[in-house]
Chains A and B, each alone.
Chain A
Amino acid sequence: MSLPLHVKGSPRALPSTEASFLWRKLSEHRTALWRTASIGLFFLVWEIAGRVPISFAFPTFLETLRAFLTMLFNGAFVAAYAQTLQPLVIGIAISAVVGVGVGIVMGLSRFAEWLVAPVFIVLQAAPMAALIPLITFVYGIGLMAKTLAVIMLALPVIALNGYKAVRNANPSLVAMCVSFQGTRWQRITKIIIPDASPVIFAGLRLGLAAGFIGVILAELLITPTGIGDLITYHRSVADYPEMYAAVVSIILVSTLTLAALEAFELRVLRPEKRRT
């Protein structure tokens, strides 16, 4: 929005420059405004649907918010997440190390690719959740079983992303490294892995998303602990606002974690996508 030059400085121009200033301020924060509007609208619809009510088991937004804040401050969430995050963190750490390693090896070696990649392709496309009942009676109902549930869901996507990233490393950059007589080791460490790292990292992000699904599933299917326990318990005593608050909290935690990882990825790994 540009104003004709001659208006500038004349007293009559004042309100219009002011208006344009406001407009500029507004458009600067346009995404933030849209976001607020979008979130506000969602909550409004929720509140109305809860007040109608569409179901006896559908609390209003405000009831859920109240339950959320109560559980946040009375320590219920803290205790639950201390339990839930344990298998998640351990499982993701193991999946990350093993998955990235296996992925890189599959990307570099034709034989490893032939032997291992199809297994991961099947595991990623297949509903691994079906195997969770199996883990239960082998590893019981403890941390081990839940960690395994996380690994089963997170590992294939991490390994496959690592594999694809390494396999599709920019051939022109690889040729460049070869033309400057880089050794095989230099080629891998200086070109292929840096070139693959954004996709590998994106794989870790997808793996974490899958891990969240896995840990919740484990807590709902194996034994109710942590956040799964909050959901199951409040459901059984018909405390629906508390139950919804627990569900919202896990979606919130996973969304915020994933968003933080994405921001990190943009800042550190992809200088070409960074806005300067």
Chain B
Amino acid sequence: MKLFGYRVPMMASLIVWCAIWELVGRSGALFLIPPLSDVLVAAVALVQTGTWQAAAITTLNSFLVGMALAILVGVAIGVLMGRSVAADNLLGIWVNIFVSAPLSALVPVLMILFGMGETTVVVTVFLFAVWIIVLDTRAGIQGVPPSLIEMGRSYGASRFALYFRIILLSALPEILAGIRLGVIRGVKGVVIGQLLVSILGYGELFELYSRNFDMENFWALTIILFAAAMLLSGLIESLEKRVDYYAGVR
């Protein structure tokens, strides 16, 4: 987008939307949209409270544990499916079903299996994130050029070296892409899990503020959450760009 000959960065239009938000809020037309400036003030105050900090730590903790499990298990299953036809055939359908199934329906089941606690949220994050990581890893492994593997063999690479120095590195762009998508899904998972369990971390605060019609704090929570989600996916995207140079030339 060019304006008066200058390139305007795309995300700059968000400023326009923020201004519109502020105006709508100031006009008081919709009680559920307070002015953005009030929300930001609330956000600054909010992050200093012990309640928010405790909730954020609980949330982050569930998210990180769930994601770590999802990445470990997801990459392992993806490699297995990429290298073994039998595993691919046996697991393929289920991975494809769960990657697009409404997993929110499974959360009530998790609640009775794992209790109304953090474990349920961790498992929710894991279930939301793991399938896309499996699928992308599998695609990356299957995309490793056979000549690269034959090259490794012909120079006498051990099985270990073959996997860790050639196959996994060659599939890294796809694996990272899978992890980025997994992170986005994981964030949604942690929110959905906590909302349904509703006595934990962020979910509890969301319940609290929306029930008390405390719109400033509600939106402050949302903005912090959205910003964290964008930051996280941006972080992995920049990591992806660093290996992007060889994604096209393998």
Contact = CB atoms under 8 A, between A and B. Distances in A.
B226 A38 contact: no
B11 interface: yes
Contacts, number: 142
A227 B89 CA distance: 31
A254 interface: yes
Given A34-B89, A122-B230, A250 B102 contact: yes
Interface string A234-260: 010000100110110011001100100
A126 B225 contact: yes
A38 B16 contact: no
Contacts of A110: 1-2
B112 A240 contact: yes
Interface stretch (A14-22, A94-102, A134-142, A168-176): A134-142
B233 interface: yes
Interface in B63-114: 89-94, 97, 100-109, 112-113
Contacts of A128: 188
Contact of B225 (A34, A127, A244, A255): A127
A125 interface: yes
B17 interface: yes
Main secondary structure, interface of B, reads helix
Interface in B177-202: 184, 187-188, 190-192, 195-196, 202
A221 B104 CA distance: 11
Interface string A189-229: 00000000000000000100100110111001100000100
Interface string B221-232: 110011001100
A235 B102 contact: no
B113 A220 contact: no
Given A39-B93, A129-B195, A247-B108, A114 B8 contact: yes
Given A118-B10, A134-B32, A137-B213, A41 B112 contact: no
A163 B250 CA distance: 29
A55 B233 CA distance: 36
A35 interface: yes
Contacts of B90: 34, 37-38, 41
B22 interface: no
Best-surrounded residue of A42, A127, A255 (most CB of chain B within 10 A)? A127
A81 interface: no
Given A126-B226, A221-B195, 15 more contacts: A35-B89, A37-B89, A39-B93, A114-B10, A118-B11, A125-B184, A127-B190, A129-B192, A137-B213, A213-B104, A217-B196, A220-B107, A235-B112, A243-B109, A251-B97
Interface of A: 31, 34-35, 37-39, 41-42, 55, 57-58, 110-111, 113-119, 122, 125-134, 136-138, 206, 209, 212-213, 215-217, 220-221, 227, 231-232, 235, 240, 243-244, 246-247, 250-251, 254-255, 258
